[in-house]
Amino acid sequence: MSVKEIFTAAYGAEPAGVWAAPGRVNLIGEHTDYNDGFVLPFALPQRTLAAAGPSPDDRWHVCSTLIPEPVSFGTTAPGEVTGWGAYVAGVVWALQEAGFEVPTARIAIDSDVPLGSGLSSSAALESAVLTALIDLGGLDLPLEKRPALAQRAENVYVGAPTGIMDQSASIRCQDGKALFLDCRSYEVEQIPFDLAAEGLAILVINSNAPHQHVDGEYGARRKSCEEAAALLGVPALRDVATADLPAALERLGDDVLVRRTRHIVTENQRVLDTVALLRDGRVREVGPLLTASHASMRDDFEITVAQVDVAVEASLAAGAYGARMTGGGFGGCVLALVDADRADATAAAVAGAYAERGFTAPTSWVAVAGPGAARI
């Protein structure tokens, strides 16, 4: 069934339109967003669809093919709607709080973004709903201001303390481009990212590892970064220059804060180095930066698990130019930069390494940079 048909089956009417917002993979720049730093995501072909139309009453009605329980709510505040509906109610709330008159609506959601795999299904859901409501209501909210509003829905209404990257990627990415985002100024540069032309591919490997302690560990990393920035007397770790890192680490002393800080400062530099190489068309040379990013996440930021470490090692052993975990960590996905004609063999090598260790089998596919949120 198409999402239009799902809408009609649920509400007995035709939707006014269908909107789509993608999931994303982050090429490089992990946990840098909430440190006011740099990230470089691109949009996945996997996306969340929202068929939407006016509501016959003064409430919003939402259903999803992925969740049995539909949700219905009136004018709302954080804490009222919980579970998956909070991502939708949060968007309505954030729009209203920003002063917009949000039209009540009926919405049907369908998605092929895997939930909870670090590919940002939450931001895809928020961005699809946000874009639909903006268009339905004719609201005047420019593209560059939309991610912060969707982030507010997730931070305040859902209660997940995530950075600005996911919503920025889902809303601002463009077809065939990677999004170089400054998470302090929200300035972006669209970096051409056509790997096929170079005979290359990004293989995404979903570790299918169960996520554990994600929220608590994420909050703990955020807190350490804030603590380190405060001790160093800077607004955010973005303000520690690479050249000043050794002195900063000496000042911090504390082993955990040293390692967290070293990850963020070196990771920001790796994003800048990656962007410089991509601008020069030197794509293969990005590989070692990806692998260094992974080592930094594994050893300094301590956010990887055995399944993602094994996927990275197996990809490299199979000849990948570089590989790293992508997303917040504690499971989720790995990406590997490979020769396009080696993608299948790399996926098979990772599957083999998983089988040897008795891990749940991974799922792999080649990801091509797609467009951001829009009416379709």
Applying CB under 5 A, which residues contact Mg ion? 120, 122
User: Is 36 or 154 the residue whose CB approaches ligand ADP more closely?
Assistant: 154
Separation of alpha carbons 246 and 268, rounded Å: 15
User: Is 176 or 331 the residue whose CB approaches ligand ADP more closely?
Assistant: 331
> What tokens appear for 365 in the block?
């596919």
Q: Which of 67, 156, 245, 368 binds ligand ADP (CB under 6 A)?
A: 67
Q: 166 an active-site residue?
A: yes
User: Is 120 or 131 the residue whose CB approaches Mg ion more closely?
Assistant: 120
Separation of alpha carbons 240 and 49, rounded Å: 40
Using the 8-state DSSP alphabet, how is residue 86 labeled?
H
Candidates 39, 38, 63, 40; CA nearest to 52 is 63
Catalytic residue among 135, 166, 254, 300: 166
Q: Does 272 bind ligand ADP (CB under 6 A)?
A: no
Shortest Å distance, C-beta 279 to ligand ADP: 29
Separation of alpha carbons 120 and 154, rounded Å: 12
Interacting residues with ligand ADP between 117 and 156 (CB under 6 A): 117-122, 125
H/E/C letters for each residue in 265-333?
HHHHHHHHHHHHHHHCCCHHHHHHHHHHHHHHHHHCCCCCCHHHHHHHHHHHHCCCCEEEEECCCCCCE
> What tokens appear for 242 in the block?
């690479």
User: Is 32 or 346 the residue whose CB approaches ligand ADP more closely?
Assistant: 32
Residue count (the chain): 376
Q: Which of 54, 56, 74, 116 binds ligand ADP (CB under 6 A)?
A: 116
Q: Which of 7, 42, 87, 354 binds ligand ADP (CB under 6 A)?
A: 87
Which H or E run includes 364?
strand 363-367
User: Is 120 or 346 the residue whose CB approaches Mg ion more closely?
Assistant: 120
Contacts of 77 (CB under 8 A, 6+ apart): 93
Q: What share of the chain is helix, strand, coil (3-state, %, to 5)?
A: 45, 20, 30
User: Is 69 or 250 the residue whose CB approaches ligand ADP more closely?
Assistant: 69
Shortest Å distance, C-beta 326 to Mg ion: 13
Check: CB of residue 374 under 8 Å from CB of residue 47: no
Instruction: Give the CA diameter of the chain.
Output: 66
Shortest Å distance, C-beta 165 to ligand ADP: 11
Shortest Å distance, C-beta 44 to ligand ADP: 11
Shortest Å distance, C-beta 366 to ligand ADP: 20
Number of residues that bind ligand ADP (CB under 6 A): 17
Using the 8-state DSSP alphabet, how is residue 370 labeled?
B
Shortest Å distance, C-beta 215 to ligand ADP: 8
Q: Does 168 bind ligand ADP (CB under 6 A)?
A: no
Q: Given the rule CB under 6 A, which of 63-71, 184-192, 271-279, 284-292 is the region that contacts ligand ADP?
A: 63-71
Q: Does 64 bind ligand ADP (CB under 6 A)?
A: yes
**Residue 319: how many other CB atoms lie within 10 Å:** 13
Contacts of 110 (CB under 8 A, 6+ apart): 3, 6, 48, 49, 51, 64, 65, 66
Separation of alpha carbons 322 and 302, rounded Å: 19
Q: Does 98 bind ligand ADP (CB under 6 A)?
A: no
Which does residue 115 bind out of ligand ADP, Mg ion, none, counting CB within 5 to 8 angstroms by kind? ligand ADP
Q: Does 109 bind ligand ADP (CB under 6 A)?
A: yes
Shortest Å distance, C-beta 122 to Mg ion: 3
Which does residue 353 bind out of Mg ion, ligand ADP, none, counting CB within 5 to 8 angstroms by kind? none
User: Is 90 or 322 the residue whose CB approaches Mg ion more closely?
Assistant: 90
Which does residue 374 bind out of Mg ion, ligand ADP, none, counting CB within 5 to 8 angstroms by kind? none
Check: CB of residue 164 under 8 Å from CB of residue 129: no
Binding residues (CB under 6 A) for ligand ADP: these are 48, 64, 66-67, 84, 87, 109, 111, 115-122, 125
| Active-site residue set | 166
